[in-house]
Amino acid sequence: MRALTGQRAFVTGGSKGIGEAIVRRLAAEGAKVVIAAQDMISAERLADEVGGLAVRLDVTDLLEVERVVTMLGPFEILVNNAGYDQHDFFTKTTVEQWRYLLAVNLEGVFASTHAALPAMQAAGYGRIINVGSEAGRQGSKGGAVYAAAKGGVIAFSKSIARENARYGITVNVVAPGPVDTPLLRKALDRGGEKLLAAMEASTLVGRLGEPDEVAAAVVFLASRDASFITGETLGVSGGMGC
């Protein structure tokens, strides 16, 4: 069933990993997807495959985010997926690192949501799904700023859900645990088998997640089947959050 036929979606960080899986799932359900990413080679290839549109976007450029979302909208579905982490103990990080991590993981969410909401409010319908992290609920050793940003995404989403329910807009968070993505593999290259074993052991199911498992939750929350769900955080983490 193509439950999203006729709807338009905007996905940040949509060229690889979880973002790519989300784009493919949305398109398979009939949505027309704008893929916002910095890697235009991957984004344009994916857009050709799914019949979407690729646009270059750095989510840390907040004014550009607002301009692009406003110019290409309106959208029924907004998926804030772009994210980044640098694993290190907090005392070894710098102010510049903090600012960048907050800009990618939190402020970019502010900007795209701010730009997309007016049209959704006018239409009386919208689905906003923010990709958070179990780190935002539990903390993360070696990822304090990332965890703080993702915790901010959860609090922000609850607030926007409260403000916009009267417009027929739902706002939810999907919180992945360790998922086998290019970003995670970079961390594993540094941490080796010991880190991989620790990540797998942190889940009840004893394995890494797959991007498509996160995408399935996102697409459900984007559908009309989820019309009575808002302000929630759905863990897709193999039981890590229970």
DSSP string, 156-190: HHHHHHHHHGGGTEEEEEEEE-SB--HHHHHHHHH
Provide the pLDDT for residue 121: 98
Residue with the bigger pLDDT between 66 and 88: it is 66
pLDDT at 94 over 80: yes
> 100, exposed or middle or buried, with CB in 10 Å at 0-12, 13-18, 19+?
middle
Residue 177 has pLDDT above 70, yes or no: yes
Residue 2, pLDDT score: 84
Q: Average pLDDT of the chain?
A: 93
Helix (H, G, I), strand (E, B) or coil at 108: helix
Say how many C-beta atoms besides its own lie within 10 A of residue 42's C-beta. Answer: 17
Q: Is the pLDDT of residue 139 over 90?
A: no
pTM, rounded to two decimals: 0.94
Report the side by side order of strands in the sheet with 77-80: 53-56, 32-37, 8-12, 77-80, 126-131, 169-176, 233-236
CA distances from 134 to 49, 64, 95, 153, 176 (A): 31, 29, 24, 11, 6
Count of Cβ atoms closer than 10 Å to residue 4 Cβ: 24
Distance CA 35, CA 125 (A): 21
User: What is the topology classification, in CATH, of domain 8-181+210-232?
Assistant: Rossmann fold (3.40.50)
Active-site residues, by number, are 146
pLDDT at 159 over 70: yes
Instruction: Map out the domains of the chain as residue ranges.
Output: 8-181+210-232
